[in-house]
Structure formats: structure tokens, C-alpha cells
Amino acid sequence: MNNNELATRPHYPILDGLRGVAAIIVVTFHLTEPLATGHLDNLVNHGYLAVDFFFLLSGFVMGYAYDSRWDKMTIGSFFKRRIERLQPMVVLGMTLGAIGFYFTDSTLWPLIHTVPVWKMLIVMLIGYTILPIPLSLDIRGWEEMHPLNSVGWSLFFEYVANILYAVWIRKFSKTALGILVLIAAIALAHLAITNGDVSGGWTLNVPQVRIGLTRTIYPFFAGLLLSRIAKPVQIKNAFLWCSLLLAIVLYMPRIGGAGNVWMNGIYESVCIIIVFPFIVYLGTGSLMQSQTQNRICKFLGEISYPLYLVHYPLVYFYVAWISNNKGTTITQAWPYALLILTGAIVLAWAALKWYDEPVRKWLRKKLG
């Protein structure tokens, strides 16, 4: 497919907007998380499912953007494009995380000031590659793949899905892809129902890697399948309705409680397997919007990835403040949470315009 053909393909601004809505909800989830005692009482209880929604969007966009281009594109050129798109913000996010780690002072992480700078720098440099660190380099103590920027785990699995797509699964017929998606859906439902949720995937050990792969394979390749079989249907105010449905799903309180974790597992299975593809399907069916809606969707889409990568270094300071002030309530915390949310959006926009776009342009020239 040549550039003229690419230019004439319809763009889906609603999907851009939904990515931004999901990114903002992720931030609110991380801001309410330290005020909760666990999964059962987090105010933004299912906010972590936004990651599964991101995977579904990524799979859809992957198929839509690349499926018809493989006759003129090599695997090498594909990965050059993915590195150009993903890595600049990964590097910035890890750098900000290292700065935040160095200056954090909290009773929650009393040992971080005993971590030598050289060790922190090694963790940061490994983080630049998005490869997970071994537990022996866990300098924060949360058993994370990326202790300087927690959200890096999902980018690692995003790359895994990209590799599977480019090397192998892009060649699948619709039938073969459908069988893969069905098997992956069963695996996802089993995980969610037996565990009570799909939360996890950020630790480099067998159980957590299994969770990460299970959370990635179904939504990513369901999105790919959707890009191949969907026949768009127009609905009025699609962005509004899709955003509202997404927010309801992600802000839904925990289902079933501690005694019936399977009920919450069923809820999350239905959300990921059925509701999320339905939302994306509706989002692809409505191309015409008002100029105001298009501007909103464009803005939300542009900041979504930078926001996801830069917000957590700010959240670390917020979590440290709550830890240093035991008994902090949501009433006391919300002004600071709002400040962090606003600051993260401003930082994401600045990172996009002053860093991400210029660096990607430079990489595009260097990588050809």
C-alpha cells in the first residue's frame, strides 16, 4: 500500500478519544489505589482493566494499519516503526522514574536511600530496553519488572504481542485467528474466575508472566480479528456513549466480595471478552463528528500514550505523601490527587510536543 492509499483510508478519531479516556481512568485508579486496603474497596475498582482495553485497541489498530502492507514491508521495517513509536516515551518515563526514585523520601520505601546510584542507573538502562529486570534488581521492593516506572510491564507484553503478530500470526486466516481468539478467551475466563480478577502481570516469575500473557493474547488478537471482520454501523454520538460505557465498566465496584471472588471474575471476563470489543466496534462505526468532538478526540488520543508513560513517576510522590501521613482520607487527598492528575496531563502534553514528536521525527530519518 502506497502513501496515497494510506491517506485515503478512513481514520477512527473515536478510538483515539477512547484511548485518552482510558488513560485518564488509569491515572485515577492509581491515585485511589493507595487509599484502599486492597482490591475489594478501591474506589476506582476495575481501573486496571483499561490495560486490557489498550491491548484490544492495539490489536485492532495493528491489523487495520499493517495487514495490507506486508507485500511492501519487511519484518525489520515493521519493528523500526514500532521502536520509533514506542521507545522514546519509554526512555523518558524511565528517566523521570529514576529522578523520582532518587528524590523520594517515604516510610513506605525506607531502604531506597541505601540503593547505590550505580544500581539505580543499571535498572534505568535496562528499563530503556523495556526488558524486565530480575527480582535481584528490585530496588523498590514491590517485585515489579520496572521498579522505576511500574506501567512498563504492559509495554513489555505489547512488544511480545507485536513480535507474535509480525513473525507468525499475521499469516493466520480469519478461521485460524478465530480459533486462537476462542482458546485465548477460555484461558482468560479461567484465569479471571479462579483468581477473582485478572490483576497482575508485572513480576518476572512464572505465575505473573502467565497472567501477563493471558491478559495480552486474548484482547490483542481479538482486536486484530475485529479489524478483519467488522462491518461498521453508524450510531449518533458514538464517542459519548462509548466513553460512558467504558467509564461505567472501569469504575464499577468490586462484584461479589471476598466470599465470592468468582463473581468478580465472571464480570471481568464479560467486560474483556464481550464489552470491550463491542465498544471498539461502535467506535469504528461512526466517522462523522462535530469539529468540537474531533478536537477533543484528537487531543485525548495524542496525550494518551505520553500520559500513560509519565504519570506514574508523579504518582510515586503522591503514594509517598499518603504513606507519610497515615490515616489520610479521600476527602483530604482529593485536592492533591486532582493536582497530580492535572499535572500529569500537562506533563504529557509537554512531553508530546517538546520531546516525543521531535525524537520520533529524528528516529524516522535515522531508521529510514
Supply the DSSP symbol for 48.
G
The yes-or-no verdict on residue 111 having pLDDT over 90 is no
Asked if 131 and 153 touch (Cβ cutoff 8 Å), the reply is no
Amino acid at 160: V
Cell digits of residue 212: 501477563
Q: Which of 183, 207, 188 is nearest to 198 (CA)?
A: 188
Supply the DSSP symbol for 362.
H
Which whole-number Å values give the CA distances from 258 to 118, 183, 191, in the listed order?
43, 28, 17
Amino acid at 270: V
pLDDT for residue 287: 63
Phi, psi dihedral angles at 199 (to 5 degrees): -60, 130
Q: Please report the DSSP string for 246-271 in residue order.
A: HHHHHHPPPSS-GGGHHHHHHHHHHI
The yes-or-no verdict on residue 107 having pLDDT over 70 is yes
Tell me the three state secondary structure of residue 125. Answer: helix
Supply the DSSP symbol for 355.
I
Each residue of 116-156: pLDDT tens digit? 999 999 999 999 999 999 999 999 999 999 999 999 999 99
pLDDT for residue 5: 44
The yes-or-no verdict on residue 176 having pLDDT over 90 is yes
pLDDT for residue 286: 66
Between CA 16 and CA 28, with CA 22 as vertex, the angle to 5 degrees is 145
Q: Please report the DSSP string for 144-169 in residue order.
A: -S-TTSTTHHHHHHHHHHHHHHHHTG
User: What confidence category does residue 26 fall into, taking pLDDT thresholds of 50, 70 and 90?
Assistant: very high
Asked if 223 and 63 touch (Cβ cutoff 8 Å), the reply is yes
Asked if 271 and 199 touch (Cβ cutoff 8 Å), the reply is no
Asked if 203 and 211 touch (Cβ cutoff 8 Å), the reply is no
21/105 Cα distance (integer angstroms): 32
Mean pLDDT confidence for 110-119: 88
148/66 Cα distance (integer angstroms): 32
CB atoms near residue 139 (< 10 Å): 21
Each residue of 243-288: pLDDT tens digit? 999 999 999 999 998 889 999 999 999 999 999 999 999 998 766 6
In the chain, % of residues over pLDDT 70: 96
165/287 Cα distance (integer angstroms): 27
Conformation bin of residue 201: beta by default, left when phi > 0, alpha when psi is -120 to 50:
left
CB atoms near residue 324 (< 10 Å): 12
Place of cell 507474535: 164
Which whole-number Å values give the CA distances from 66 to 59, 77, 174, 191, in the listed order?
10, 11, 16, 31
